[in-house]
């Protein structure tokens, strides 16, 4: 344990367990996805309407933000599973962490703390908005910093977890400066959907909703898969093939409906 983390953790923890109202408020804030991802995605949509109309380059940059967040959080989760396990401060007996009121002591147990997924998401979004508007980006980065502090206060993360997540998110978002990469990835989404706003905005709504939910909806399926593997270790190839077949059928039906609508669109 480095002194940098210890000093900051102990400083924040010195305010814990003094006021039930203060602790309960911080607990609510830390788990409130409206405040974590929702506010930043509201800034994203504001930028899409206000700045996206200015140039195709800014629309591409905003699409790239969504791609960057998705990639960055996937990479962060891979790192968390691959790197040596790091006990969270609230579970680390060496720190003598004082649990704030209303905090469930079993929260995030057996989940490695490094790096912070939340920091990856919020700082990647904020850095992406910076590429579109300096003023908006500065506001978003300031907010990302403030909304990350409760996770230190509650012992979910060490400061270096937050710092690593922030650097990872900002680094991936900064790849938008590579014009060829930004344009190539963004056009994969915009070329087929931009002429069809109904499809585009439905797709972007679902995508931004998932980001605002901190990918919890997808994580539930991942956890379900892990639970199935533990409970049914003899899971057979045929059963897996059936699931893949169902996915293939649904994908095929979606494609056929798309082609039918596309044909109807061109006819009209």
Say if residue 57 is in the same domain as residue 7: yes
Same domain, 73 and 20: yes
The residue with tokens 């907010």 is 143
Task: Return the pLDDT at 190.
Answer: 83
Instruction: Please indicate, yes or no, whether residues 78 and 199 belong to a single structural domain of this protein.
Output: yes
Shared-domain flag, residues 147 and 178: yes
Same domain, 141 and 248: no
CA dihedral over 148, 152, 157, 163, signed as positive or negative: positive
DSSP codes joined into one string, 9-21: HHHHHTTTTS-HH
Please indicate, yes or no, whether residues 241 and 178 belong to a single structural domain of this protein. no
Indicate the number of domains in the chain: 2
Q: 128 with 165, same domain?
A: yes
Please give the pLDDT value at position 263.
54
Question: Residue 194 in 3-state DSSP?
Answer: coil
CB 119 within 8 A of CB 59: no
Cβ 119 vs Cβ 148: under 8 Å? yes
Q: What's the confidence (pLDDT) of residue 20?
A: 93
Long-range Cβ contacts of 181-184 (<8 Å, 24+ apart): 182/60, 182/61, 182/64, 183/60
Q: Can you say whether residue 214 is alpha, beta or left, with left for phi > 0 and alpha for psi between -120 and 50 degrees?
A: left
Of 219, 110, 119, the C-alpha closest to 161 is 119
pTM of the model: 0.81
Q: Say how far apart CA 149 and CA 157 lie, in whole Å.
A: 9
Does the N-terminal peptide bond of residue 94 adopt cis geometry, omega within 30 degrees of 0?
A: no
Domain shared by 170 and 240, yes or no: no
Residue 133 and residue 257 share a domain: no
Q: Are residues 203 and 254 in the same domain?
A: no
Degrees to nearest 5, angle at CA 87 with 127 and 116: 10
201 and 221 belong to one structural domain? yes
Strand, coil or helix: 2: coil
Report the half-sphere exposure of 13 (CA within 13 A, side-chain side).
19
- The Cα–Cα gap between 30 and 267 comes to 51
Region at 7 (left for phi over 0; alpha for psi -120 to 50; beta for the rest): alpha
Nearest to 188 by CA among 170, 200, 206, 202: 200
158 in the same domain as 127: yes
Please report, in tens digits, the pLDDT of each residue of the chain (268 residues total).
688 889 999 999 999 889 999 999 999 998 888 888 889 999 999 999 888 777 788 888 999 999 999 999 888 888 888 888 899 999 888 888 899 999 988 888 888 889 998 999 999 999 999 998 899 999 999 999 999 999 999 999 999 999 999 999 999 999 988 888 888 888 888 888 878 888 888 888 888 888 888 887 777 776 676 676 677 665 555 555 555 666 666 766 666 566 555 555 454 5
The predicted structure's pLDDT at residue 136: 92
**Do residues 168 and 72 make contact, with C-beta atoms less than 8 angstroms apart?**
yes
Residue 217 structural domain:
3-234
């Amino acid at each position: 344990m480095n002194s940098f983390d210890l000093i900051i953790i102990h400083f924040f923890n010195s305010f814990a367990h003094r006021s039930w109202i203060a602790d309960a408020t911080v607990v609510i804030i830390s788990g409130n996805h409206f405040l974590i991802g929702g506010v930043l995605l509201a800034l994203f949509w504001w930028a899409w309407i206000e700045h996206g109309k200015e140039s195709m380059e800014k629309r591409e940059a905003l699409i790239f933000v969504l791609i960057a967040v998705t990639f960055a959080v996937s990479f962060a989760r891979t790192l968390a599973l691959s790197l040596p396990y790091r006990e969270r401060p609230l579970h680390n007996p060496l720190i003598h962490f004082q649990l704030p009121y209303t905090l469930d002591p079993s929260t995030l147990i057996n989940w490695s703390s490094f790096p912070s997924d939340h920091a990856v998401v919020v700082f990647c979004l904020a850095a992406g908005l910076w590429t579109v508007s300096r003023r908006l980006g500065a506001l978003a980065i300031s907010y990302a910093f403030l909304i990350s502090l409760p996770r230190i206060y509650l012992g979910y993360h060490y400061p270096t977890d937050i710092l690593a997540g922030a650097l990872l998110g900002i680094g991936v978002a900064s790849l938008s400066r590579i014009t060829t990469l930004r344009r190539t990835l963004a056009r994969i989404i915009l070329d087929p959907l931009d002429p069809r706003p109904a499809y585009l905005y439905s797709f972007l709504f679902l995508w931004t909703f998932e980001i605002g939910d901190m990918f919890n909806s997808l994580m539930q399926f991942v956890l379900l898969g892990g639970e199935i593997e533990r409970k049914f270790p003899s899971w057979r190839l045929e059963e897996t093939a059936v699931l893949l077949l169902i996915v293939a059928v649904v994908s095929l039906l979606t494609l056929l409906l798309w082609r039918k609508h596309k044909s109807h669109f061109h006819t009209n």
